[in-house]
A and B are shown apart, each in its own frame.
Chain A
Amino acid sequence: MSASGGGGAAAATADTDVEQPRFDLVRRFIQGDLAELRVVIVLAVIWAIFYSQEERFLSSVNLTNLVLQATAVGLVAIGVVLVLLLGEIDLSVGAVSGLCAAIMAVLVQQNGWSPYLGIAAGVLAGTAIGLFQGSVFTRFGIPSFVVTLAGLLAWPGAQLKVLGETGTINLTDPKIVGLTSTFYSDTVGWIFAFLAIGAFAGITLLGRQRRLREGLSAPPLGTLVLRIGLVAVVVLGAVWVLNDDRGLPLAVLILVGFVLIFFYITTRTTFGRHIFAVGGNSEAARRAGIKVNRVRVIVFMIASTMAAIGGIMAASRLLAVNQSSGSGDFLLLAIAAPVIAGTSLFGGRGSVWHALLGALVIQSISNGMDLLGYETAVKFMVTGAVLLAAVIIDAIARRQRQAAGRV
């Protein structure tokens, strides 16, 4: 959702058509405009349920573990969000994450590369795969579903080749292991918290001032202060919980950092605007002079790159890369996460934040059921049910929009 800051009234006359009640929260909620709020409520409900069954669920140790578990899926899901915004799908992200982690592991552990070069090689391998898949998709007009399905089948084969006979490579390099096992001191955590809040407040208030100076309408100061207050509560609360355990993890900084970078790219750059345009109406985008296929290829490159980064983080946490890295439910969770949080499967609607929020929802279910001692079978079924519920809500929201004359 772009920040719908407010409207400049352009010559409103009595003759206007259906006027939108601007603060009709209930309607906007039903029509899916407030997806973030919806997913926060879902998250709160899930946490309340697990907490009522098992108090340890909301302990700082468990919450820290939960966010660490969520980072790999969250990072991969960022790329998936961009692909979904185009109205496409990438089924290869799980396989790509495994292959790229394997490439990194082999180079560093067996060939003695420096960890930085090894990580860079793994990430660039992901970028190259994305370039290949995106080019095949756009050049031959094959549905992205099929192109990436081929990738889903092929890349795990490459992964087996890369790993060689042993099939498992243990990661011992301190830099790579440190990606998910580094925690910063309390002081550093608070510094980051206050920097983040300060930056958000500054950007929000300066933006408002600029709009007012240009004579545009701007949201009332009270609303903005409330918004800044909410952000401050969330950030300070998170840092407080993390500090209560081992401290602010590097992995969380990496995840939030990438979310912020891609949030900026999708909402504040021409390229990001074009992603939404192609997902909304690719013909209109083409006629507006946008190089539609170039946008598509770049997005597939980003998706595979983020998959590689997520795979490397998952490997770092597991301390190894093996034949099943990136397989199993990893792909499905990475696609389910943004969808649960409200990114539309139909293209043109969604936010990078959905990757983070959705990954938290999925990981909360998984973590909570582990804590309560449920078997994997039940876990899968519950996660599936939550995904189904989320997609049904998306479909209902879409129908409500159409009923209200919106497409």
Chain B
Amino acid sequence: MDGNTPVLALEGVSKSFGPVQALSDVDFEVRLGEVVALVGDNGAGKSTLVKTIAGIHSADEGRILFEGNEVRIAGPTDATDLGIATVYQDLALCDNLDVVENLFLGREEGTFALDETSMEKQTGDLLGRLAVTIVNMRSEVGTLSGGQRQQVAIARSLLGDPKVVVLDEPTAALGVRQTAMVLGVVKRLREEGHAVVVISHNLADIFEVADRIFVLRLGRKAGDFSADQSSQEEVVAAITGAEFGRAGDEAGGDR
């Protein structure tokens, strides 16, 4: 939480796929120690925005600033190198490998003599820090519950010590208790000073963890709410474009 400079800021970002304008002139920013929820209806541009941050798509127009400096994110490795980690909805875990093996997949320690002890110790420290509830770090990931798998995926994204963590629908398809587990981890990320961007459809979850709620509608910013000064109805109105008090800054009146 140092200063007021956002760790990541998008200015005037636009992106189109052929005739489809997925993002138009979007300003988005997130600060360290802040959880920003990214919401919007299907097709509102959430995924495109996240993929722009993660380097999967590059923006047609606009600037991306990282820690105040303009950067170019041309590919996923650029994003990773900057310190932006993204956890996609399908998690991309290997069910036949155990927790430690999954965490260090692709960045194992010791090419010709794996240092299992060191990797397991770091895994234990990391999971402990996140208060993750996994009994046996040597159990196969396929044996874990949905919430635990999500936690493993999040923990894996933290290994490179990123500044920004982007979570795509982390609580989709999870039960109540599992959701609580995952939200607990998100709160830990904020306490540790990470900037967190969460895509979600579930407003209850969002209001539980988010500091700010950023609404996209039809590729445009349709509202930027402070979570403790707004109601669910306001957010829903911004998502759908219905009239409820102020319906966002710019997107009002296009229905």
Contact = CB atoms under 8 A, between A and B. Distances in A.
Nearest to A16: B133
A358 interface: no
Interface stretch (A70-78, A163-171, A277-285): A277-285
A15 B134 contact: no
A375 interface: no
B106 A289 contact: yes
Contacts of A280: 94-97
A2 interface: yes
Interface string A269-297: 11101001101110111011110000000
A363 B54 CA distance: 55
B1 interface: no
B121 interface: yes
A211 B147 CA distance: 28
B105 A268 contact: no
Nearest to B100: A8
B138 A401 contact: no
Contacts of A16: 133, 135
Interface of chain A, helix or strand or loop or mixed? loop
Contacts of A281: 92-96
A223 interface: no
A19 to B, nearest CB: 5
A283 B145 CA distance: 21
Contacts of B148: 17
Most buried by B among A215, A283, A348, A349: A348
B224 interface: no
Given A7-B139, A20-B139, A215-B121, A12 B133 contact: yes
B131 interface: yes
Contacts of A110: none
B145 A276 contact: no
A281 B124 CA distance: 24
A279 B142 CA distance: 14
Given A279-B96, A281-B92, A401-B142, A216 B135 contact: no
Interface string A1-44: 01011111111110111111010000000000000000000000
Given A10-B127, A283-B92, A290 B105 contact: yes
B128 interface: yes
B181 A4 contact: no
B102 to A, nearest CB: 8
B95 A9 contact: no
Interface in B110-153: 110-114, 117-118, 120-121, 123-124, 127-128, 131-140, 142-145, 147-148
B124 to A, nearest CB: 4
A407 B98 CA distance: 13
A405 interface: yes
Contact of B133 (A8, A13, A211, A405): A13
A215 B118 CA distance: 11
A404 B144 CA distance: 10
Interface string B184-209: 00000000000000000000000000
Nearest to A401: B142
Nearest to A31: B143
Contacts of B134: 10
A5 B138 contact: yes
B211 interface: no
Nearest to A210: B117
A270 B115 CA distance: 10
Contacts of B147: 17
Interface residues of B, number: 45
B168 interface: no
Most buried by A among B106, B114, B145: B106
B117 A10 contact: no
Nearest to A405: B143
B94 A277 contact: yes
A7 B135 contact: yes
Contact of A216 (B120, B128, B139): B120
Contact of A10 (B92, B97, B124): B124
Interface string B85-111: 000000111111110010001111011
A269 B111 contact: yes
A16 B105 CA distance: 25
Interface string A329-343: 000000000000000
A68 to B, nearest CB: 33
A406 interface: yes
A287 B92 CA distance: 7
A22 B128 CA distance: 20
A274 to B, nearest CB: 8
B255 interface: no
A214 interface: yes
Nearest to A216: B120
A17 B138 contact: no
Contacts of A287: 92
Contacts of A348: 94-96
B117 A407 contact: no
A296 to B, nearest CB: 16
Contacts of B110: 270
20 contacts: A2-B138, A9-B136, A10-B132, A11-B133, A12-B133, A12-B135, A13-B133, A20-B136, A211-B120, A269-B113, A273-B101, A276-B94, A276-B97, A287-B92, A289-B107, A290-B105, A348-B96, A406-B95, A406-B142, A407-B95
Interface of B: 91-98, 101, 105-108, 110-114, 117-118, 120-121, 123-124, 127-128, 131-140, 142-145, 147-148, 177-178, 181
Given A11-B127, A407-B95, 14 more contacts: A4-B98, A5-B138, A6-B136, A10-B135, A211-B117, A211-B120, A269-B114, A276-B97, A283-B92, A288-B107, A349-B96, A405-B145, A406-B95, A406-B140
